[in-house]
């Protein structure tokens, strides 16, 4: 970005942050914060919700591949604005509480709107904003800010839900909970439309700046894909993101954990899910600043180590309603580890020395494998929880998380060695 216009630069990153999380509120954030309520009002179980996520993941899998190249050809603001409008329209349909089959179709639709049209343009736009020396800060602001936006949506959702409940939530009927949750979905959808309008009209400076790095090749050029696939670091990034994303998907169950293990009601469980999101902006900005002073890959290694230790604590079964202090400490450390890896896994694109002109293609190529947890993590977590109701199911989920954390740790270590050797040769 043009540093001679600091106000313009701030507006751009703020809009990227707002849009970057608003787009995922309907398919992910609401289900994460209101998971017990979400299951009840749609009359589905954990496996069926996981299957909805899986349909999303299949569509997203295809969308990453083709949407990445699209981002190397067209202005980010146009693609992102259209994606936001289309996602919001899906939200108004969600508020009608469709059947399980229709809900799966809706999640597939979200996979198209949030990924094909949105994901790679957002990542490329952030890389353009960060320049060569501020990638950690750029992605730290992006993910940390997205965490604050998610937390704000969560707090607003809890406020709207509690306001619309005319009786105590523990005494409410299913119809009363549906009615209250409908207003939550409507509110979020309206805000997403507003953000889409702001993106279209105020991201023009970024579009002009990004045009400098547009690929002159055809949208789906095989040459772009061949260029990207020649980097060993790209293949390692696939594995790093896959493992980090499994950890992030596991945070979806914390509100349910609070209900199943600690005995909290729906509203209190939703508050726990929201509080967790407030750790994300603090971690994002702090880790982003530290990464620019050292190496981003180093902090991803540390993040995976924290994820491994904290997931083992949850898997051990030592946390209960009588050890709330240990739960609070463990969940904070878990969140720090998860968000540290999430903040930086695209910041290491600069460490890998990938040309900016093929960033969109690289993001799409990496994401095809890196985000496959969208396909398998939801059903896997659902099966583990439903087959072993209560605390045991949660322990099984955290054992799986520990395994992926270990794999991610070694993959990032290998990435750091490969890129360090490359730097020495330059």
pLDDT of residue 341 exceeding 60:
yes
- Give the three-class secondary structure for 318: coil
CB atoms closer than 10 angstroms to residue 173? 9
221 confidence band (pLDDT: 50, 70, 90): low
pLDDT digits (tens, 9 = 90+) for 9-67: 788 888 999 999 999 999 998 988 888 889 999 999 989 998 999 999 899 888 877 77
Q: What is the pLDDT of residue 380?
A: 92
- Write out the H or E segment, with its range, that includes residue 368: helix 359-370
Alpha-carbon dihedral of residues 231, 237, 242, 247, nearest 10 degrees? 180
Closest of 245, 340, 285 to residue 24, by C-alpha: 245
216 confidence band (pLDDT: 50, 70, 90): very low
Q: Which residue has the tokens 């965490």?
A: 147
Q: What is the pLDDT of residue 412?
A: 93
pTM above 0.75, yes or no: no
Domain 6-209+223-421 has CATH 1.20.1250.20: yes
CA distances to 113, 243, 364 from 110, rounded to whole Å, are: 5, 23, 17
Q: How many residues belong to the chain?
A: 426
């Amino acid at each position: 970005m043009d540093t001679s216009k600091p106000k313009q630069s701030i507006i751009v990153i703020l809009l990227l942050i707002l849009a970057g999380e608003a787009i995922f509120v309907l398919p992910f954030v609401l289900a994460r914060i209101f998971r017990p309520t979400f299951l009840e009002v749609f009359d589905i179980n954990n496996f069926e919700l996981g299957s909805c996520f899986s349909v999303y993941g299949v569509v997203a899998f295809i969308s990453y591949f083709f949407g990445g190249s699209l981002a190397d050809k067209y202005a980010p603001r146009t693609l992102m604005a259209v994606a936001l409008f289309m996602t919001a329209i899906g939200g108004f349909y969600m508020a009608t509480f469709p059947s399980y089959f229709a809900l799966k179709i809706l999640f597939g639709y979200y996979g198209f709107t949030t990924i094909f049209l949105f994901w790679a343009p957002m990542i490329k736009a952030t890389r353009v904003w960060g320049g060569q020396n501020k990638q950690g800060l750029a992605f730290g602001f992006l993910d940390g800010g997205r965490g604050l936006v998610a937390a704000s949506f969560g707090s607003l959702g809890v406020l709207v839900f509690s306001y619309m409940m005319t009786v105590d939530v523990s005494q409410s009927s299913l119809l009363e909970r549906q009615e209250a949750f409908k207003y939550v979905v409507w509110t979020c959808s309206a805000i997403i439309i507003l953000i889409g309008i702001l993106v279209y009209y105020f991201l023009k400076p970024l579009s002009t700046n990004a045009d400098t790095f547009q690929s002159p090749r055809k949208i789906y050029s095989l040459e772009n894909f061949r260029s990207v696939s020649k980097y060993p670091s790209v293949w390692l990034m696939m594995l790093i993101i896959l493992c980090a994303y499994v950890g992030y998907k596991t945070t979806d169950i914390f509100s349910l954990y609070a209900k199943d293990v600690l005995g909290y009601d729906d509203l209190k469980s939703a508050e726990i899910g929201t509080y967790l999101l407030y750790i994300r902006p603090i971690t994002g900005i702090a880790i982003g600043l530290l990464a620019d002073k050292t190496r981003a890959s180093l902090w991803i290694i540390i993040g995976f180590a924290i994820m491994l230790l904290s997931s083992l604590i949850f898997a051990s079964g030592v946390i209960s309603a009588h050890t709330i202090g240990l739960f609070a400490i463990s969940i904070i450390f878990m969140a720090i580890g998860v968000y540290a890896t999430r903040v930086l896994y695209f910041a290491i694109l600069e460490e890998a020395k990938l040309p900016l002109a093929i960033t969109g293609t690289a993001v799409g190529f990496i994401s095809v494998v890196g985000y496959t947890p969208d396909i398998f993590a939801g059903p896997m977590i659902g099966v583990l929880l439903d087959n072993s109701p209560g605390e045991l199911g949660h322990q099984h989920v955290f054992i799986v998380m520990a395994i992926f954390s270990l794999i991610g740790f070694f993959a990032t270590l290998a990435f750091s060695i490969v890129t360090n050797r490359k730097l020495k040769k330059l």
